[in-house]
Amino acid sequence: MKKLTTMLLAVGISVTALVGCGGTPGRADGTAQTVSTDGSTSMEKVIGYLSEAYMAENDGIKITYNPTGSGAGIQAASEGRCDIGLSSRDLKPEEAETLEATVIAIDGIAMIVNPQNPVSDLTIEQIGKLYKGEITNWSEVGGSDAPVVLIGREAASGTRDGFESITGTEGECKYTQELTSTGDVVQTVSSNPNAIGYASLASVNDSVKLLSVEGVTPSTETIQNGTYKIQRDFVFVTPKDKDLSEAAQAFMDYASSAAADEMIEKAGAVPVKR
């Protein structure tokens, strides 16, 4: 009962706080313009940083984000239920007939192992075999004789979705641990000499060893020029046949301009090379 009361109290306080912040000042004529975005959960951080920075500079514009997943976002954009659809995969040919995709950032997924692990390079095929449980000992990929401990993210994570689709291991991974945050993955890999994990490049620190994939070390440069393979695009999806609202167009221009690069980097993604 005590817990319940505390919880309700917390909910009450946060609701009040939200209401408090909700009053966007609006334009001179008193109306606030809303740009609605809908889609990829992996893009939550990117869109969060971008919209916060944009709203701080542009009074009277409100950017909303509905985390529904790439597929749902693309559908929402094609049905006109949102201004901008967010997708962390490229459009399928039939989707591209009516929709326009604008890449605003690239998500680089880094493979990490414990610093004690002698392995420093893996191929995508090897990574796939490791995660599918076809290779269970590090000695098979040039490491020491030790069991492989596979660290991953929870089923609904965008990073997991990206990793599994690029390595072709969807639904087949034999994880030892499924953790709920990037920080947990880095911490666990740093404390277990036999662990391998994946995480957004930006969240990797010195406590773990960064692997090169097919001979290419992940960095902003190798991700931008496409030589580092474990990466995917973050795209804004808009209808081809309809013009965006003034506010949505302005936000899109901002997001694809050099001014947004800093925010994209802060959010852990890699800006597009211009």
Partner 1 sequence: MSKLKKTADALEKAMNAVFTFCGFLAVAFVLVITAFLVISGVPAIGEIGITDFLFGRVWASTAAEPRYGILPFILTSVYGTAGAIVIGVPVGLMCAVYLAKMSGGKSAGIVRAAVDLLSGIPSVVYGLLGMIIIVPLVREIFRLPDGANLFSAIIVLAVMILPSVISVSETAIKAVPKEYEEASLALGATKTETVFKVIVPAAKSGILTAVVLGIGRAIGEAMAVMMVSGNVANMPGLFKSVRFLTTAVASEMSYSSGLQRQALFSIALVLFVFIMIINLILNFVVKRGESNE
Q: Which residues bind partner 1 (CB under 8 A)?
A: 1, 4, 8, 41, 67-69, 72, 146-149, 154-158, 170-171, 175-180, 184, 187-188, 191-192, 194-195
**Burial 57-73, CB ≥16 within 10 A → b, else e:** ebebbbbebebbbbebb
Q: How far apart are CB 143 and partner 1 at their closest, in Å?
A: 13
Closest CA to 134 of 150, 157, 113: 150
CB 231 within 8 A of CB 90: no
Nearer to partner 1, 155 or 259 (CB): 155
CB 45 within 8 A of CB 268: yes
Q: How far apart are CB 255 and partner 1 at their closest, in Å?
A: 23
Nearer to partner 1, 41 or 227 (CB): 41
Which regions of 68-218 does DSSP assign to beta strands (E)? 84-87, 99-113, 121-122, 149-153, 177-179, 195-200, 209-210, 212-213
Q: How far apart are CB 155 and partner 1 at their closest, in Å?
A: 4
Nearer to partner 1, 151 or 213 (CB): 151
Closest CA to 161 of 229, 112, 88, 106: 88
Q: How far apart are CB 156 and partner 1 at their closest, in Å?
A: 3
Q: How far apart are CB 108 and partner 1 at their closest, in Å?
A: 21
Give the Cα separation of 10 and 159 in Å (integer).
Answer: 30
Nearer to partner 1, 156 or 259 (CB): 156
CB 42 within 8 A of CB 199: no
Nearer to partner 1, 60 or 71 (CB): 71
Nearer to partner 1, 192 or 222 (CB): 192
Q: How far apart are CB 191 and partner 1 at their closest, in Å?
A: 6
